[in-house]
Each structure stands twice: as structure tokens, then as C-alpha cells.
Structure 1
Amino acid sequence: MLGLVLASGQAGTISTPATTTEPAAAIRIGNGPEPESLDPQKATSVSAGNVLRDLYEGLTGVSPSGELIPAAAESWTWSADGRELRLQLREGLRWSNGDPLLAEHYVAGLQHLLDPATNSGYASLFAAIEHGAEIIAGRRPSGDLGVLADNARSLRIRLDRPLASLPDLLAHPAASPLHPADRLAKPGKARIGNGAYRLVERTPQSRVVLARNPLYWNAAATTIERVEFIPTEDLNSELKRYRAGEFDITSTVPAAQAKWIREQLGGELHVATYLGSYFYGYNLTQPPFKAQPKLRLALSMAVDRELIVDKVLHGLATPALSLVPPGISNYSVQLPAWAALPRAQQLAEARRLYAEAGYSMEHPLEVEIRYNTSDDNKRLAVVIAAMWKQTLGVRVKLVNEEWKVFLQHRRSRVVTQAFRNTWIGDVDDALGFVELFGTRHPRNDSGYAEPAYDQLLKAAAEQADPQRRRAALEAAERRLLEDAPILPIYFYASKHLVKPYVEGWQDNLLDWHYTKDLRLHAH
């Protein structure tokens, strides 16, 4: 099979990967679905983020235990009014092709991120930057963004409103710098990076191979020479390959094997609290869910989350009746009004709403559940279909799709009805979850459009007072749960198998792990 083989800083060309001697310090990582993109301003998947954090470095970074630390910027300070962040870059930074890395390249990266032509799923996180909201809306050019390079090593970020989480956001791959040669890069072209590793090969559905970047500012402390990120949509196969020594770290673990894994590989299993929600979306732009809040609520109430977490996920998650995970700072878990009802009354109410929506055992809803390839996704869909059928008489067709096709269908809102969805938090902030369902958000795959909800989001975004901001966000989520454009199912826990000879791995809330922080013992 042909792969994309790249020299540092060069455009990608299709050729047969060169035969090399396997370095002693090489690590192989199971990485879930094939990354949909390696453009840091466009990619949104977890699997893409895992690769991008090795290829690019933000102004700030995250320590192995999850704390904010300096990265390309050695220091930063806030102005007295909290409206301007000043950052000082390290001396002598370089791109992977040897070009000097300048403050203006981070300016260019943020301009590219908020440019509506980029259509980034993360642009709204940075909308508080001066003129950011107007740029995203297409009312101002991206060059007006309030990010300025004072000299080669200093830049300032001005804000329209206070954003205390800005230093944390600058650690995200979406805030990566942009090399001048990549400003007009064609889609799919390999970009020049500045991280601890550089891209040397990408073979779709096979592997992404990185090599240590000797020009990285802290290359002397990076000991692993080669990284292979391998797509692993079949979790049972991933587990077998891990046991056979083909992987050093897994993307996750198959829930059905949880008991055996705990018994046989307990010392290698890492399970930790994680800012992630797993839910089903409803396509509100097409039948049968368009203008049918009662139907959507009925389906949600018919699902027994406790049973799913206990029997399907074997305790490797937490039941969810809401979108925002527990543990978010300055936020309380919100619940739908029906959550306080006894289970029998919930089911009775589900049947009543189902009937009011025009359906019955004699005239059942016929619906598709669409999900991307994964044994766990399939098992969950089968169980939910059975719950809908048993309680309401719904007839369900399961549709399994490869990741990129699934994403395309989900975002186009043409063929989808009910579909698997997830969101992983990028910072400790409820806004990152709640804003997903703003009318214009690019990841609003349900097509939810509610002016009152948008107004609450706007109020939260413009509010400097933490308690008033919190109140607006909580009110927005309560409105979301009332309108039910989604069916919350569970809150994630991060789950990995890590070989004993991998040193430096630490569980953290974001589940971010940089290869540069890991070491391999002889084995």
C-alpha cells in the first residue's frame, strides 16, 4: 500500500515508504478512528488531537499530570484589567524545517483559526479575542483580530471581554502557529510543524509515523525516537495486538472485556475521570425528529442509563442525564425535570409523550441509529434499540459507517436520524460543552436552532462576573434538556492499557499525553 512519506518541511508526495532500521526507542500507540485531518486548525477528533500534540506546540502546554505549563512561550502576564495577555517566546525557536519560529506565526495561526473560511470547530472558543466574534461571523477580516506581534519574540492578545481560561486554550492544537508557506496550503497538504516530532509517513487506515524533531527547543530531553499512531476501530483486535506486544499503549479498552482485563492486566489498566460526554443526537432538520420535542423526550426517558453503565460498559463510565460532565469548575450538574420521577413513572410518561407525538404499538416509529465502526458503539446501539422497542414499540435499523463517512453524513444532516455523538472538553469550562448547540456552531450536527438558547449563550460569553456567567450557562443547559435535541447516555472515563516499561504516563482530566514526556525501559 502506498503511503504519504514526508521530509521535514516538504510538501507530501505519494511514494513507497523507505525501508529503515527500527530505532530502539520506538513506541506504538493505538489511536482509535483514522484522524480526519492533521490540520491543527481544522481537526476536531480525539485521534487527530493525539497526533497533533506531538507535531505542534502551542504557546502554553500541559504537564503529564494536567497542569498548565510554559511551552513555546516561556512566560506570560495579564494586564491589570484582565483584557490583554502578553507572552514572551523562548529564544531560538525553530520550525521542523529549520526556519526561525516568530511571534507573528502564532498571530497567523489564530487569524487562520477564526477565519470563517477555515470553518474550524474550535473558533468559538477564542471568540473573546478582540473582534473575534465579528470575524467568525464574517463581518470583519481576520487581519483585524486583536493579536499583535511586537517583535520576533513578543506578542499581545487583546480581549473584548475577560477570558481567564485563555492561557489554557493556547495549549490546544487549534492555537498552533502557521508557517508562512502554509498560509495558502491546499487541503490535505502536509504542513510544517514546530513540535517535538515531525511527520515522516501517513498511510491511511494503516499508520501515522513521526520521528523525533532534532530542532525542537527541548529535543535533548525527548528520548523516544519514533512514534507510530495506528488506527484501531476494532477494540477487541486492539486488545489482542496489545497482548501480543504490537502496541505499547491502547486507545481504550473494550467494555465487554473489562472484568478479564482487571483480573489479568490490572496493573496495566489506567481508568480516570475524564471531561467527556457520550450522547445520541437527533437530526432536527428532517423527519421524524423535526418539531417533535415530545418524541425526543419519550425516547430519552425510555433509556435505562444505569443498566447500560452496569451491564454494557461494566462500570467504566457514569450514567448521564445531562450534557456537561460533573467536575467542571464553577458549575453544577443540571438535570431534566423528569429525572426526579420513579423509574416506573418515567416509563409511563415516555409512553404518554410517544402517543402524543402520534405513535403507538400499532403505528410505531421507524428510525435509524447511525454510528461509527466500533464494537462498543454497536453493542450500545443494540441495547438502546431493544429498550425503545420494549417500552414504546419502536422499530430500529442500525447503520454502521466508517469514521470519515459517518462524520460527513452527521454534519450534512441529510440522511441522519438518530446518531452517535460525543464531546470531549478542551478546558475546564462548561461553555465548551453548552455552546455546541448554538445555532451557528459548526459542530451543531443536530441543527438545533433556538433564539432563547442563543441569547443565554451570548449572555454567558459577555459576562465577566463568574456567578452570573454560571447562571446563564446553567439556564442554557436546562433549556437544552427541555427541548431534547440530544439523548445523553454516559460520561466518559479515560481507559488505557499501558505497558509496564512505558515510564512517565500520568492520568489527567483532559487525557492529554505528549510522547516527549514518556520514556521506554529496555524490554
Structure 2
Amino acid sequence: MSFMKHRFATTVLAGALLFGASNAFAEAVLHRGNGGEPQTLDYANISIDIEGFVVKDLFEGLTIYDAKGEIVPGAAESWKISDDGTVYTFKLREDAKWSDGTPVTAEDFAFAMRRVEDPKTAAKYANILYPIKNAEKVNKGELPVDQLGVKAVDAKTFEITLERATPFFLQLLAHYTALPINKANYEKFGDQFVKPGNMVSNGAFKLQSHVPNDTLVVVKNENYWDAKNVKLDKVVFYPIDDDAASVRRFEAKEMDLVYNFSAEQIKRLREAYKDQVHVTPALATYYFAFDNRQEPYNDVRVRQALSMAIDRDFITSEIYSGAQIPAYHLVPPGMEGYGEGVKPDWASLSQIDREDKAIALMKEAGYGEGGKPLNIEVRYNTNTNHERVATALADMWKNTFGAKVSLVNLDVASHYAYLQEGGKFNVARASWSADYADPENFLALLVSTNTTFNYGKYKNAEFDALMKQSYDERDAAKRMEIMKKAEEILNKDQPIAPVMGNANLWLVASRVAGWQDNAVNEHLSKFLSVSDK
């Protein structure tokens, strides 16, 4: 071999080795379209799924949902429940560590739960932990924070005492409200503990960077107890609420996952991407809330009439291409022991008959043709599907009652912040996805003391009393019957207009492995991997 040939062969071999090495050590990066910008990463003050997707990659509770959507051990390796169902004793994993290498302790959980219930924190979801002894009284300032029924028995043993047996308590502990905080880190940074550079987390990933409205990047936490089974090195979240832009980036292979896309695209996307399109029935309800504080929405006849005039079949079939199902009550089907739930009487009528009845009710209330003008402002969060639904409602109410309807939209974080902070409105779009598979999770939205999620400030003493009774009932079947009676009251009062049962719409690239559809819409990145497909 001549010198020139030898040098060329050596160069080619070296290049091949370098190429092979670069492939072997290439980062495994998952690109997640996340549907909007989180208000915050402080899980005492988040309330929507796009925030939960990020936070649950960073922090791990005592229990978690696995890829199938079933409750499994998280930071706790095991637990024992007392015979009366009121005392839970958790054994934390010996190798559970924070991203700074310090151990995860029982006091980290106790400290975090006390912080959530401390009225100074003003946690939006404090009620999730109300089953814990004294939680509600602590949250309302009636008892000091140290009276909350949580106790660090020792560094790795955590005890929770409940007010009463709560069948779904292990599900509650998988909620972001029950996530731990590194006590030492919080005492150092305070509310700034969620910032890049400050955050210490105990989940499969740790926060690397966050550029609002651009990207949020998390990287593998080498100190996570199960790090050896985490196949991703990095996850990049894109807070894009423009459906069309998300789909374009998916089609350009710039994003591996897209959460929510325009339902009118389902047919085209299925033809092009087949099983990469996922439409999964969810424990979720899409609805419109009426502001019960002001006229004419404080009149039950007006609320009933507006709800009756909504053609749910048109919305689900024409706007959502059959991906959703019409809904006439708040609690979605699929709750164990609850069944289908009770529909209002008018749900059995044809749409034409509903509209006739609605016109009569509206006239009786003094609005519509021959009465006072009906001016309605509909608020919704920016999204192609939501815009199309709001536009359809405007046409239906205009055609049925002669109403003048205007539309107002905000980004998802601003929309929900406005509603949660008590802003006044006429009609506002909202939806609720189950935090746990129990009807109480939906019905509790409209209890008068729920100042965060009872957007329209609905009050009904009989409804509140039934819900209180349901918390005290130990017999499971009787408890479900009590809640059905409570839902019947909602059907009559129509403080909200349920429109459809939600489906979770995802685009999942073929290069993503480990994905499993599930009704609770829980998809931790720790269960996913990517290939070079």
C-alpha cells in the first residue's frame, strides 16, 4: 500500500470510528409539544394538565401513575393502611435522593403538605388534601399549621392521619399537590425555589432551562432512585398553543409528541400517520360556566334555556369529527360504582323540541324576542377547537334567541388565572380532567366553598349538604347514590352547561416507544424512549 493510500484508509477508519462514537453517545432527546405556557412550576399554584406534565417529570410523589394509568409506588416503596382506613404509613425508598444528592426524607413530604395547607400560601388546590386530618381547618386559618395530620416518624417513615376513610386517597397522593419539597432548598430560596439554577427535584429529571413561551428543558436526574431505567437524557417542552403550528412541527419531525390538535385534522392525519394519531376517551368534561353572580345568568331559566339551545350533536360530530361524545351532566361515564349518571329531563328531547322549550323559558325570564335584549360575551382560551365551539354557540344563541354574542379569548394560563381569581364574566369555556377516578372530583367543583374552581360562584345549600353527607358516608354504594342526588340538583340548576365528554388528542411519533393511552392522561417521560426512526 502506498503512503497516500495508507493515509486515506487511516482517515476513513478514524472518521468511521468517530461517527460510530457520536451515534453511541448521542443524546436521547424527546421533543414534547405542551399546548401552552405554564403559569408557574410551583405546584402549590398550578391547576392545569400542561403544568402537571412538566412538574411530574421533575418531582415524584409517594405514589405515581404508571404508563397504563394505574397507581404504583413512587418515592414510597410500600405502605400500610390501618383497619379503619384512616392511618397510612409510608416507607420511603432508602435510595430516594434529591438532584443535589441529599436524601428524600419524610419531613420533606410533611413540610410540603403543611405549606400547601398554610393559608399564607393560597394554594389553588389545597382542597385536594382535605381528607387529611385538620387540613380544611388549617387551610381556613382555624388551626395552626402544625396541627395538620402528617408526621415524620423517622427519616424514611411518613405517617398520614385522615379525617375519615377515603377510598381514593392513594390516587390523591399522585396529584401534584402532594409532591415533596426539599426543605433546606426552600428555606434558602423561598418561592424562587422553582427557578432554573435554584430548583432541587426528586423526579426522573431536573430543570436545565426555561425560556417563557419558547422552551422548557429538563435533563436526566442522575441521582434519581430509578435512573438506570430512565432512557431519555433530555426532554424539551414547547409551550405552543397554536394547533396548526404544532402539527406542522410534528410533520417536520421537529416534535415527537403533540398534545391537542384541531379535531378537523383527525381524518387527514390518520390517513397520513395512521397509528401515530391517538384519540383516547378521557375522564373529562368540556363545559361552559355561567356567572351566577349577575343578571341574567343568576336566573335559572336563562341558564337552562342557553344550555338547551346548544346542539351538542353538531359540535361533537362536525367540529370534533366524532372524537368527542355529547354530555348532559358533569360527571363523565366510567367512574367505578357510579355508572352513567343522571341526565336532565330535556336531554331526551329532539334538538328542535329543546329549542322550543328554551325559547319559552327565555321568554318567561323576560329576554329574547319581545323582551329585554340578550347580550352575551363568551370567553375561551386560545385554541382552534375552542374558537370553533365558541363560534358555534354564538350562532346557536343568535338563531334561537336573537342574542348578540361576542367572543373574547386569552392564552390558556391567563384565561384560567382570570377565572380562578374571581373575574366576572358572562359565559366562560372550561374543562375538567379527573385528578382521581371518583365523581367527587367533578361535583366538588361546584361546592360553594370551592373559591378557586367554582368559577360562576354557584351556591345551593341542598347541593352543599349532600356533598357533605357523601364525605361522611362509609358505605360505598350509598355514597354513590348521595352524589347522584347532588348531580340531579346541578341538572336542574344548570350553573354550568356540560357540552361533551372529552377525548385526549395526541400525536405520537413512531420513534417514541413506551407510550400507552390511558383515561387519566398521565404520561411521565420516564416511561418513554426514542429511537432513530
Residue of structure 2 aligned with 1:185, choices 181, 190, 194 = 190
CA separation in 1, counterparts of 2:205 and 2:28?
14
For residue 507 of structure 2, what is the aligned residue in structure 1? Answer: 497
For residue 116 of structure 2, what is the aligned residue in structure 1? Answer: 113
CA separation in 2, counterparts of 1:194 and 1:89?
12
CA separation in 2, counterparts of 1:68 and 1:407?
28
Residue of structure 2 aligned with 1:211, choices 188, 205, 219 = 219
CA separation in 1, counterparts of 2:478 and 2:445?
20
Per-residue CA deviation, residues 417-458 of structure 1 (Å, 9 max, x unaligned), is 101111110111010000011112121111112221111111
Structure 1 unpaired stretches of 5+:
1-21
User: Contact 1:37–1:188 at 8 Å: present in 2 too?
Assistant: no
SS in 2 for 1:162: coil
Matching of residue 57 in structure 1 with residue 60 in structure 2: yes
CA separation in 1, counterparts of 2:468 and 2:192?
32
Change (3 A) 1:187 1:297: farther
Offset at residue 113 of structure 1 (A): 2.0
Per-residue CA deviation, residues 463-501 of structure 1 (Å, 9 max, x unaligned), is 111122112211111111211111111111111111111
Q: Which residues of 2 match residues 281-320 of structure 1 at below 5 A?
A: 281-289=289-297, 291-320=298-327
CA separation in 2, counterparts of 1:236 and 1:276?
23
For residue 338 of structure 1, what is the aligned residue in structure 2? Answer: 346
SS in 2 for 1:185: helix
Matching of residue 321 in structure 1 with residue 321 in structure 2: no
How many residue pairs get matched?
Answer: 501
SS in 1 for 2:258: coil
CA separation in 2, counterparts of 1:510 and 1:133?
26
CA separation in 2, counterparts of 1:227 and 1:278?
29
For residue 12 of structure 2, what is the aligned residue in structure 1? Answer: none
CA separation in 2, counterparts of 1:112 and 1:463?
29
For residue 455 of structure 1, what is the aligned residue in structure 2? Answer: 465
CA separation in 2, counterparts of 1:371 and 1:187?
30
Change (3 A) 1:188 1:177: closer
SS in 2 for 1:149: strand
CA separation in 1, counterparts of 2:420 and 2:203?
30
For residue 481 of structure 1, what is the aligned residue in structure 2? Answer: 491
For residue 19 of structure 1, what is the aligned residue in structure 2? Answer: none
User: Contact 1:318–1:492 at 8 Å: present in 2 too?
Assistant: yes
CA separation in 1, counterparts of 2:295 and 2:33?
38
Residue of structure 2 aligned with 1:429, choices 438, 442, 455 = 438
CA separation in 1, counterparts of 2:94 and 2:257?
34
Q: Which residues of 2 match residues 232-311 of structure 1 at below 5 A?
A: 232-289=240-297, 291-311=298-318
User: Contact 2:119–2:139 at 8 Å: present in 1 too?
Assistant: yes
Offset at residue 36 of structure 1 (A): 1.3
Farther-moved stretch of structure 1 (31-40 vs 43-52): 31-40
SS in 2 for 1:487: strand
Offset at residue 133 of structure 1 (A): 2.3
Offset at residue 116 of structure 1 (A): 2.5
Matching of residue 73 in structure 1 with residue 76 in structure 2: yes
Residue of structure 1 aligned with 2:139, choices 127, 136, 147 = 136
CA separation in 1, counterparts of 2:422 and 2:78?
44
Q: Which residues of 2 match residues 149-228 of structure 1 at below 5 A?
A: 149-180=152-183, 181-182=185-186, 185-186=190-191, 189-190=194-195, 191-228=199-236
For residue 5 of structure 1, what is the aligned residue in structure 2? Answer: none
Residue of structure 1 aligned with 2:407, choices 394, 398, 409 = 398
Task: Looking at secondary structure, tell me which structure has more helix per residue.
Answer: 2
User: Contact 1:295–1:357 at 8 Å: present in 2 too?
Assistant: yes
Letter in 1 for 2:325: T
Moved over 3 A (4+): 412-415
Letter in 1 for 2:36: P
SS in 2 for 1:475: helix
Q: TM-score, length-normalised on structure 1?
A: 0.93
SS in 2 for 1:420: strand
User: Contact 1:285–1:413 at 8 Å: present in 2 too?
Assistant: no
Change (3 A) 1:412 1:426: closer
Residue of structure 2 aligned with 1:29, choices 29, 32, 50 = 32
SS in 1 for 2:99: coil
SS in 1 for 2:164: coil
For residue 92 of structure 2, what is the aligned residue in structure 1? Answer: 89
Letter in 2 for 1:298: A
CA separation in 2, counterparts of 1:400 and 1:62?
33
Per-residue CA deviation, residues 357-383 of structure 1 (Å, 9 max, x unaligned), is 111225430110011111111111001
Offset at residue 142 of structure 1 (A): 2.0
User: Contact 2:363–2:369 at 8 Å: present in 1 too?
Assistant: no
Larger Rg: 2
For residue 392 of structure 2, what is the aligned residue in structure 1? Answer: 383
Offset at residue 415 of structure 1 (A): 3.9
Offset at residue 414 of structure 1 (A): 3.7
Farther-moved stretch of structure 1 (220-229 vs 279-288): 279-288
Offset at residue 411 of structure 1 (A): 2.6
SS in 2 for 1:186: helix
Change (3 A) 1:248 1:127: same
Offset at residue 23 of structure 1 (A): 5.3
User: Contact 1:64–1:517 at 8 Å: present in 2 too?
Assistant: yes
CA separation in 1, counterparts of 2:146 and 2:431?
33
Change (3 A) 1:347 1:497: same
For residue 3 of structure 2, what is the aligned residue in structure 1? Answer: none
CA separation in 2, counterparts of 1:253 and 1:268?
13
Matching of residue 519 in structure 1 with residue 521 in structure 2: no
CA separation in 2, counterparts of 1:284 and 1:256?
33
Letter in 1 for 2:178: A
SS in 2 for 1:156: strand
Letter in 1 for 2:142: R
CA separation in 1, counterparts of 2:508 and 2:402?
43
Change (3 A) 1:505 1:234: same
CA separation in 2, counterparts of 1:220 and 1:414?
47
SS in 2 for 1:49: helix
Per-residue CA deviation, residues 143-168 of structure 1 (Å, 9 max, x unaligned), is 11111111111111111110121112
Matching of residue 229 in structure 1 with residue 265 in structure 2: no
CA separation in 2, counterparts of 1:203 and 1:247?
17
CA separation in 2, counterparts of 1:232 and 1:273?
23
